[in-house]
Chain A
Amino acid sequence: MDLILDGLQILARWDVMIALLVGSIGGVLIGAIPGVGPAVAIAILLPATFSMDPIVGLTVLLGIYGSSMYGGAIPAILINTPGTAVNALTTYDGYPMTTRGEARRALSLAYSASFFGGVFSVVCLILFAPVLARIAPMFGSREIFLAALLGLILVVIAHRGQSLIAAGLACFGIFLHTIGLEPVKYSKRFTFDQSWLSSGVDLIVVVLGLFAISQAIFLLRGEDEKVRLTKLRGGLFQGLRELGRHPRVASVSASLGVLMGMIPGVGEFTAQFLSYTYAQRSSERPDDFGHGASEGLIAAETSNNAVPAAAMVPLLALGIPGEALTAMMLSVFYVHNVVPGPALFQNDMDFVVALYLALLILNVLVLIFLLFATNQLIKVVKIPNRFLGAAILTLSFVGVYSLRNSVTDCMLAAGFGIFGFVLKRLSLPAVPIVLGMVLGGIMEVKLRAGMARVKTPFDFIDRPVAMILFIMIVGVLIIHLRHVWQERKSLKEAKWQSKHRSTNFGAQMSRRRSFLSTERGKTLRAKRSKYAPRSTDKNSPR
């Protein structure tokens, strides 16, 4: 109770309150505009938050992170276009409800489910905070190295079907981190005798290039879409009542969101997938899923909104970000000399609780805002895509240039922008690069410190937590390799399977042509053999 009061005391400042309001409303707006997303907004706002107090800056960023998914549900439900990537599953059941004329019900249900997920996770984590404070000191250098390695491996294998290039890109991220002066021996690494590379490649420059500038170019090169919106009439309060009729789906989905959010590298997509599958399997009408089932919408929205608070656990307790957004937030801590990790949980528990309370207040603010302002808010969906691209490009300049007033940084960011654009065109992930950069730095420092007192390889994992993490790494790799082996087997089976021939028009025409040419060949050969018989043919007339 004392911790909660201390946390509230930290938040009881007018600048924190304004940050909460700006973060929550700004997050909803950003989420509601398809094509922007929280990553772009956080990347642009990062340098601006460096001049603020850590709690103020983090509240703005947390606000955007936590509330963007509320906003992302609006276009997902109304126009079948997810506002943020994690709202993709919301379109499955949200949009069919809109086509049935139940847009208001779907939106109301999505808000209520998101609110429940957000509040549930914050309450869970406030209750668990003392336990986490006891566990966190068990993590020394070796354990943090292994946890960072586990996070990186999970991020790579989360990109199914692309894990090889995801691993390559994660290594590229680690490589980017190593450029510049080595911090212990002060020797140059991959600077190619260029002074501008001596200070290394700034994470924010990379993030702004890969997320903001690439997205701007992507939108500028695309086309504007014509959007037709459904008019909403009446209140949006019925969702809370409907949510109350599905307590099991809501609580299981929120729990899965909390659990998956705490594991670095897993996040919203796995939580949503597991919750949706659970909801479908346990439903009395599983066939309705994908055709406007309220339980499907609840599972998707509850689980994704339970993740942001949980994702702060590895960041705050161990200093390990689990995904791109928390990796960006880590830089805010470093700028203010607040080092997240076990010491933060031991010494500044009130700061941690204050962040969780900020998330709790944020959820309440967002729900109130959405219940009364949705009718006005849905107009942002109509902003033309290419105009948004121009706006993001203008805002990206602020983010990059305000760091060091360096034209070189801008050139680097533009280069990463083009690289990010190519990745987007090829549907390849950019997140492993950012996590490689951040986790690579952590792994380098922690491995150096951890190996100092290690004599045999087994010494590295002789502590219980280190052993558990090592077993988890081996287990995850075995599961992944087994999956790859099964994929390979099924590909082989598919290749050898005798399937019916292709039914597409081109293939049919090709078969017809080869049949006709064979037939014509036969006729011609028969004709020629009749009038010009070969001399060796015994039956031919002489």
Chain B
Amino acid sequence: MSKDRSEEIKRFDGPLRGQALFAIVFFLAAALLLSQLGSETKWAKGTKFFAQPRFWPAVSVIGMLLFGGLHLWKLPRRSLTRVDAAEWLVWAKALEYVAWFMGYVWLVPRLGYLPMTVLFMLGLAYRLGYRSRKMLWISAIFGVVVVVVFKGLLNVKIPGGAVYEYLPGALRSFFILNF
């Protein structure tokens, strides 16, 4: 490594791994958005330049392209190496928890907020390696507390689960309203 590069790397704020790919993707996304500016925004006739519907999208996308490009140009290392690949793997592995989250979102209107939250906490705790009875109990209780506080006390808008329809009369409406 040349001495010039080592000095720049030393002064770079943050880790260098993964930076190149992020900067390239950011720059390309900005370029793509700029190419769509004409078709995705309109130029209104008889309207002042600063009040044009296209003005602020243009300012933002050109800014993204300009500053993203300068950031990419100023990076101490723009080539992709094996260290970067390891970093992308870390990003990809994080998608597992997005899948957990989306599964939870999809199942709540079907199984109900309370049962699904308890199951979600228990499942995630088990997945994370908390296998002791104490931690599993804490996870389940946490799930119940979240539902009671937010839906029961603060009345946040979360619909009752489809499964509650099978409950008998009074219990059914109680569950739909509170859990």
- Is B83 engaged at the interface, CB distance under 8 Å to the other chain? no
- Is A347 engaged at the interface, CB distance under 8 Å to the other chain? no
**B15 contacts A178, C-beta separation under 8 Å:** no
Q: Which of A400-443 contact B (CB under 8 A)?
A: 401-402, 405, 407, 410-411, 414, 417-418, 421-422, 425-428, 436, 440, 443
**A387 contacts B14, C-beta separation under 8 Å:** no
The residue in chain A whose Cβ has the minimal distance to the Cβ of B12 is A161
CA distance A402 to B156 in the complex (A): 6
**A394 contacts B143, C-beta separation under 8 Å:** yes
Most-contacted residue by chain B among A162, A165, A384 (CB, 10 A): A165
In the complex, chain A residues whose CB is within 8 Å of the CB of B33: 175, 190
Please, what's the 1-or-0 string for B7-26, where 1 marks a CB less than 8 Å from any CB in chain A?
A: 11001111100110011001
- Is A524 engaged at the interface, CB distance under 8 Å to the other chain? no
- Is A47 engaged at the interface, CB distance under 8 Å to the other chain? yes
**B64 contacts A426, C-beta separation under 8 Å:** no
CB distance from B35 to the nearest CB of A (A): 12
Q: Which of A491-541 contact B (CB under 8 A)?
A: 491, 494-495
CA distance A389 to B87 in the complex (A): 21
CA distance A426 to B12 in the complex (A): 11
CB distance from A501 to the nearest CB of B (A): 10
Please, what's the 1-or-0 string for B62-103, where 1 marks a CB less than 8 Å from any CB in chain A?
A: 111011101100100000000000010011011101101110
Please, what's the 1-or-0 string for B102-140, where 1 marks a CB less than 8 Å from any CB in chain A?
A: 101110100000000100110011001110000100110
Stretch from A215-223, A293-301, A364-372 forming part of the interface with B: A215-223
- Is A395 engaged at the interface, CB distance under 8 Å to the other chain? yes
Known contacts A190-B40, A401-B105, A426-B19, A162 near B14 by CB under 8 Å:
yes
**B146 contacts A47, C-beta separation under 8 Å:** no
- Is B154 engaged at the interface, CB distance under 8 Å to the other chain? yes
**B56 contacts A174, C-beta separation under 8 Å:** yes
The residue in chain A whose Cβ has the minimal distance to the Cβ of B150 is A398
Please, what's the 1-or-0 string for A40-52, where 1 marks a CB less than 8 Å from any CB in chain B?
A: 0000000110010
CB distance from B87 to the nearest CB of A (A): 7
Known contacts A187-B41, A189-B40, A425-B87, A220 near B128 by CB under 8 Å:
yes
How many residues of chain B have a CB within 8 Å of chain A?
Answer: 77
In the complex, chain A residues whose CB is within 8 Å of the CB of B30: 168
In the complex, chain B residues whose CB is within 8 Å of the CB of A132: none
Chain B binding surface, main DSSP class: helix
- Is A336 engaged at the interface, CB distance under 8 Å to the other chain? no
**A451 contacts B101, C-beta separation under 8 Å:** no
Please, what's the 1-or-0 string for A435-457, where 1 marks a CB less than 8 Å from any CB in chain B?
A: 01000100110011001100000
**B104 contacts A182, C-beta separation under 8 Å:** no
Q: Count of A-B contacts with CB under 8 A?
A: 196
Q: Which of A182-236 contact B (CB under 8 A)?
A: 182, 184-185, 187-192, 213, 216-217, 220-221
**B146 contacts A164, C-beta separation under 8 Å:** no
CA distance A440 to B61 in the complex (A): 13
Known contacts A190-B33, A422-B91, A407 near B155 by CB under 8 Å:
no
CA distance A494 to B23 in the complex (A): 26
- Is A470 engaged at the interface, CB distance under 8 Å to the other chain? no
- Is B173 engaged at the interface, CB distance under 8 Å to the other chain? no
CA distance A390 to B135 in the complex (A): 12
**A221 contacts B93, C-beta separation under 8 Å:** yes
Query: Which among B15, B48, B106 is the interface contact of A407 at CB below 8 angstroms?
Result: B106
In the complex, chain B residues whose CB is within 8 Å of the CB of A401: 105, 108, 158
**B50 contacts A447, C-beta separation under 8 Å:** yes
Please, what's the 1-or-0 string for B44-65, where 1 marks a CB less than 8 Å from any CB in chain A?
A: 1001101101101101111110
**B60 contacts A175, C-beta separation under 8 Å:** yes
Query: Which among A398, A402, A410, A425 is the interface contact of B90 at CB below 8 angstroms?
Result: A425
In the complex, chain A residues whose CB is within 8 Å of the CB of B53: 182, 184-185, 187, 189
In the complex, chain B residues whose CB is within 8 Å of the CB of A343: none
In the complex, chain B residues whose CB is within 8 Å of the CB of A495: 3-4, 7
In the complex, chain A residues whose CB is within 8 Å of the CB of B70: 164
The residue in chain B whose Cβ has the minimal distance to the Cβ of A423 is B22
In the complex, chain A residues whose CB is within 8 Å of the CB of B36: 190, 192
Known contacts A187-B42, A422-B22, A494 near B7 by CB under 8 Å:
yes
CB distance from B90 to the nearest CB of A (A): 7
**B61 contacts A175, C-beta separation under 8 Å:** yes
Known contacts A185-B42, A407-B106, A398 near B158 by CB under 8 Å:
yes
In the complex, chain B residues whose CB is within 8 Å of the CB of A178: 56-57, 60
CB distance from A155 to the nearest CB of B (A): 13
Known: A391-B121, A397-B104, A422-B18. 12 other contacts (CB 8 A): A48-B156, A164-B67, A171-B63, A171-B67, A394-B104, A394-B146, A418-B98, A426-B22, A428-B14, A440-B60, A452-B48, A495-B3
A-B contact pairs, 27 of them (CB 8 A): A51-B154, A51-B156, A165-B67, A165-B68, A168-B68, A174-B59, A175-B61, A189-B41, A190-B40, A216-B97, A221-B97, A386-B128, A386-B129, A387-B130, A394-B120, A402-B157, A405-B157, A407-B105, A410-B105, A417-B98, A425-B15, A427-B13, A427-B15, A428-B22, A440-B56, A452-B48, A495-B3
What are the 3 tightest A-B residue pairs by CB atom distance, in nearest-first order? A171-B63, A427-B14, A161-B13
Residues of B within 8 A of A (CB): 3-4, 7-8, 11-15, 18-19, 22-23, 26, 30, 33, 36, 40-42, 44, 47-48, 50-51, 53-54, 56-57, 59-64, 66-68, 70-71, 74, 87, 90-91, 93-95, 97-98, 100-102, 104-106, 108, 117, 120-121, 124-125, 128-130, 135, 138-139, 142-143, 146, 150, 154-159
